[in-house]
Amino acid sequence: WHKVILAASSDYFRAMFTLGMKESNQPFVNLPFLLASELEVLIGCSYSGILALSWSCVFEITSTALQLQYQPALSMCLNFLQQEINPQSCLDVASFANAYGMVQLLEVAEDFVLRQFQKVACTSKFKDLPAKQLLKYLNSLSLCVPSELVVFRAVVSWIQAKPKIRLRLAKELMKTIHFPLMTFKEFKEVRNQNMWSEHSLKELYETIFEDFCSIEVAPQNQCRIYLPKESLVLIGGDQISEDLGTRSISRDLWFGNSLRNHMGIKKAMEWRKLGEMPDPARFGHEVAVLKGQLYVIGGKQYYGVDDTLNSTYRYDPLRNNWETLAEMRERRCSFSVVVLDGKIYAIGGHCDPEYRDSVERYCPATNSWSYTCPLDLPLSGHVAKVLQGQIFISGGLNNDYLCLASTFLYHPERGSTYLDNMSKPRAYHCMETLGGCLYVAGGMTTHDNVNATDQLACEMYNPAADSWTSFPPLPVPHMGAGSAVLEGKFYVLGGYSQEDYSDMKMVHRYDPATQQWENMGKMPGPNNDIRATVLCLPTSKVLLKNHSSLFATSKVLLANLTVLNGRGLR
Ligand SMILES: *[C@@H]1O[C@H](CO)[C@@H](O)[C@H](O)[C@H]1NC(C)=O
Ligand SMILES: *[C@@H]1O[C@H](CO)[C@@H](O)[C@H](O)[C@H]1NC(C)=O
Ligand SMILES: *[C@@H]1O[C@H](CO)[C@@H](O)[C@H](O)[C@H]1NC(C)=O
C-alpha cells in the first residue's frame, strides 16, 4: 500500500511503478542514494501532511524531495525556505537555489540578502561568500544600507577573513563604496582601520581619502541610489499655489522610483509621474489595493457642498489602464477603506453637511456595493486598518465635530466592539499596521473639546495587550497626510498644519528598529488630503538609470553640496 502513496506523491515512483520497469514487480527496490530515514520522513509526510522542518534538515529533505520529484514534501520545503528565511540562512538558501537551478527561490533569497544587507554582513556565512557574488551584491541597486559605513565594514570583514588572497581585491571592492557621502565621523572609522598599515594598500587609502575630501564629486557618487522592490504611490490630493492665492486639486499619480542616500543622514525619495486618474481630480478620497490593482474611491472634486463623490475607479499597473466601476451607494469623503477577504469596505465619512454611520462593501466578482452593519455613530476623519483579519478603527470626528479617542473593532455583521482608547482624541491622522501592531501619527487633537491643535505625539496599539503606548513624536504637523508601509517603515506623506493651515511638503518615515523619524525629502506635488499606497509596478516603469534626470538633479545637488561641505559640524 505504500506503493500507491509513493506513486501518488512522487513522479519518480510513479514512473517506477507504472511504466513497466522491472522494479514494479520486485518485492525490494534498492535506492542507494537515499537514506532510510529520509524516505521515512517523506512517506510520513504523505500520510500525515506534516513535515517537521528546521534549518538543520531542510536542505537535505528538499534535495531528496527534488530527486524523487516528491511534490507534497517539496512544496512544504519551498514554503519553509521562503517564509523562514533569515539573515543566518539566506546565503545558504541562495547557494542551494543556485545549485539546483531554482530561479524563483534564488530571487527570494538574493532579494533578502540585499534588503537585509546590514544584518547579513555580520554573519559568519558572509565571510565565505565568493568574490564574484559579493561584488554582484555590492553593485546592485537593490542593496539597502543605512550608510556607506555599513558597506565599508562589510568589505573589511570579508577581506579580513582571508587577507592573504583577498587583499588584492580591496581596490575593486572599495570602488563600490561612496566615500564622499560619509560624514567626518564616519570617515574617522575608515581612517582608523588597521588594514591600511598593509604596505600594498597605502596607495588605495590615499585615493579613498582624496575621494572623500573632493568637493567636485562625480555625479554617480553624489548619492547612493536604492530601488525598493515595491513603489510608494501618491494619488490625488490638493495643494496651494506658490503665491498662496489659489488651491488646486490633482488627478496625478506619482511614484517613488528610488531612495537616495545623500551625505550623512540626508535622504530623499526620487519621485516620478505615474499617470493621471480619470476625471474628476479629487481629494479626501480613499484608495485600496486588491490583487495588485489600485482602487480609487469617493472624495471631493471641489470645495463646495455638492462636490462629494461616489465614483470608483480601478487601475491596473501592468496594463496601465483605468476602469470605471459601480458607484458607491453613498457619496463619501474623509472616510476610510479596508480590504478584507477579497472585498473592499467603505466606512463612514461625510457628505456635507451630513456625517455618515453607514458602511458598504464592494464585491469585485459582481461589481456591486451593498450595505453591511452600520457604525454605532456617524464618523469622519477616522482611520480603519486590517490587523490579524479584523478591522480596527481609531479616532475621527463625530457629527458634533468632536474629536474622539475611541478605538474599536468593526465586524461587518456583528458591528462594533470597543477597545482601549488612545491617550488623546485624534482625527485626520494616519494609521498603519506594522509588526503586528497599529501605529498612529499626525492629525489633530482637541483640548477639552474646545480648541483643535496639531497632534505631534504618536502612539502604537498592541492588540495582545489591548493598550496604546507612545512612540517618538513627529517633528512637524501632518494633518490629512497620506501614509503607507514600505519595507517595514511607516511613511507619513504631506498634509498640512491645523493651526495655521500651511501646507506640509515633507515626507517622514518611522523606523521601528531605530525608533526614529527620518526626513525623506519633499513631496513631488499635491500634499493635502492626499492618499498613498504601495504598489508593485512593472519594471518598465521603474527606470533603473535615467541619466537625463540624474544629471538634471545633479546640478542642483552640486550647488547644495558646496554648501553642505560643512559636514564636519555634524
Ligand atoms: C452617484 O452620485 C451621482 C451624483 O453625484 C448620482 O447621480 C448617482 O445616482 C449616484 N450613484 C448611486 C449609485 O447612488
Ligand atoms: C473613550 O473615548 C470616547 C470618545 O472620545 C469617550 O467618549 C469615552 O469616554 C472614552 N472612554 C474612556 C474610558 O476614557
Ligand atoms: C487651546 O489649547 C492650547 C493648548 O492646550 C492652549 O494653550 C490655549 O490656551 C487654548 N486656547 C483656548 C482659546 O482655549
Separation between Cα atoms, residue 124 and residue 121, nearest integer Å: 8
Is 409 in a helix, a strand, or coil? strand
451 CB under 6 A from ligand 3?
A: yes
Which residue ranges of the chain lie beneath pLDDT 70?
Answer: 1, 219-221, 449, 540-570
Residue nearest to atom 1 of ligand 3 (CA): 451
Nearest-CA neighbor of 364 among 346, 344, 384? Answer: 344
How far does residue 343's CA lie from ligand 1's centre (Å)?
21
Q: Which residues line ligand 2 (CB under 6 A)?
A: 404-406, 421, 425
Counting ligands in written order, which one lies closest to the CA of residue 311?
Answer: 1
How far does residue 377's CA lie from ligand 2's centre (Å)?
13
Atom nearest to 404 CA in ligand 2:
5
420-423's contacts with Cβ under 8 Å and 24+ in sequence apart are 420/461, 420/466, 420/467, 420/468, 421/468, 422/394, 422/395, 422/459, 422/461, 422/468, 423/457, 423/459, 423/468, 423/470
Q: Are 253 and 235 in contact (CB under 8 A)?
A: yes
How far does residue 455's CA lie from ligand 3's centre (Å)?
13
Report pLDDT digits (tens) over 211-222.
Answer: 888 877 776 667
Print burial letters for 12-44: b (CB count within 10 Å at least 16), e (below 16).
Answer: bbeebbeeeeeeeeeeeeebeeeeeebbebbbe
Question: Could you tell which of 400, 404, 406 is best to mutate to test the pocket of ligand 2, judged by most ligand atoms within 8 Å of the CB?
Answer: 406
Question: Could you tell which of 282, 305, 324, 327 is best to mutate to test the pocket of ligand 1, judged by most ligand atoms within 8 Å of the CB?
Answer: 327
Give me the sign of the Cα torsion angle 132, 138, 142, 146.
positive
Report pLDDT digits (tens) over 500-541.
Answer: 889 999 999 999 999 999 999 999 999 999 999 999 998 766
Q: How far is CA 105 from CA 83, 123, 141, 248, in A?
A: 11, 21, 20, 47
Domains of the chain, start order: 230-535 (2.120.10.80)
Atom nearest to 406 CA in ligand 2:
2
Atom nearest to 450 CA in ligand 3:
14
449 CB under 6 A from ligand 3?
A: no
pLDDT at 567: 35
Q: Are 438 and 392 in contact (CB under 8 A)?
A: yes
Atom nearest to 311 CA in ligand 1:
1
How far does residue 405's CA lie from ligand 2's centre (Å)?
6
Separation between Cα atoms, residue 291 and residue 35, nearest integer Å: 43
pLDDT at 12: 79
Residue nearest to atom 8 of ligand 3 (CA): 451
Question: Could you tell which of 444, 445, 447 is best to mutate to test the pocket of ligand 3, judged by most ligand atoms within 8 Å of the CB?
Answer: 447
Print burial letters for 411-424: b (CB count within 10 Å at least 16), e (below 16).
Answer: ebeeebeebebbeb
pLDDT at 221: 67
Which three three-digit cell numbers place residue 219?
555625479
Q: Are 229 and 115 in contact (CB under 8 A)?
A: yes
Atom nearest to 451 CA in ligand 3:
1
23 CB under 6 A from ligand 1?
A: no
Q: What are phi and psi of 391, to 5 degrees?
A: -95, 120
447 CB under 6 A from ligand 3?
A: yes
How far does residue 197's CA lie from ligand 2's centre (Å)?
66
450 CB under 6 A from ligand 3?
A: yes
Separation between Cα atoms, residue 154 and residue 127, nearest integer Å: 9
How far does residue 444's CA lie from ligand 3's centre (Å)?
13
Separation between Cα atoms, residue 13 and residue 70, nearest integer Å: 9
Report pLDDT digits (tens) over 130-171.
Answer: 999 999 999 999 999 989 999 999 999 999 999 999 999 999
